Structure 1
Amino acid sequence: MTPEPAEHARYRGYLEALSQAGGPDECSVISAVLGDPDQVMADSAILRHLDLRAAQMGSGAAFTAWSRQVATAIHGREPLERRLREWSLFADIDAGRPWSTADLGEASNWLQLRTAEHAGSHRALTVLAGQGRTRRIRNAARARLDRAA
């Protein structure tokens, strides 16, 4: 049996530490993970954490406060900053707060598909049904619109 690479073990350890961190401790753990010499692995662990935590939090005031704190901890890490911005856009769409169709149109395939599959906004689904980047996104949005009709 081949031994597990060290970065795989660190990745799992980071995800465990992040899952148990809360409040100000969470940003400290994020900063520690981002200090790992393997930047790709560190970014992957934080990205996974952002996805898990943001999905868990929903779109309310707790998400907004959390995202502001996390934004400081991930400052300068563009892939992570983009994912957090996209989670914020999703939260705005989901909560019925103002959002820009241009922002949704420029969003990653990941966010467009997540929105098409999970958001309850008729406006967002209409935008994606007509202008989603991929056939899968357009079809998912159309299917949700058809079910809502």
Structure 2
Amino acid sequence: MTDLSPAIERKTRDSFARQSLMATFGASIGLLAPGTCTVVAPILPLARQQHGVGHAGLTFALGDTAAGYAALTLMPEESEVMTVEMKINLLAPARGDRLIAEGRVIRAGRRVSVVTTEVFAEKADGRDLVAILQGTMVPVTPRDRT
């Protein structure tokens, strides 16, 4: 696997830093490589559902973000990224200390990129696959953003 150019890595990390939702969740980028992005976040009390496990909204937000930044690593330097469609399959309750969302690009196109993410709940004795996401990302220029 090749390394990211410093400009693409900086752009991706700067974009992530502007996401207030990710800051609220205490999320950070782990692995970042061409076509791949891992986003990690603790399962904080503010992101639990009524049974005490991580809320599906947290799982979705981390999975969508990991997939989007995986796509961004393969887009032109002047582009940003937006989700146009995302599907989630929740496979198990998000029981654990933190979630790890491993996003990757399935097919990078000039106008559309197909992406997927596996989300794992990590605890002391290992990790469990809790969700799979699949979606579509498109490049946008900063003037396209609202």
TM-score, normalising length: structure 1:
0.26
Could you say which structure has the higher strand fraction?
A: 2
Could you say which structure has the higher helix fraction?
A: 1
If asked which structure has higher relative contact order (CA below 8 Å, sep 6+), I would say 2
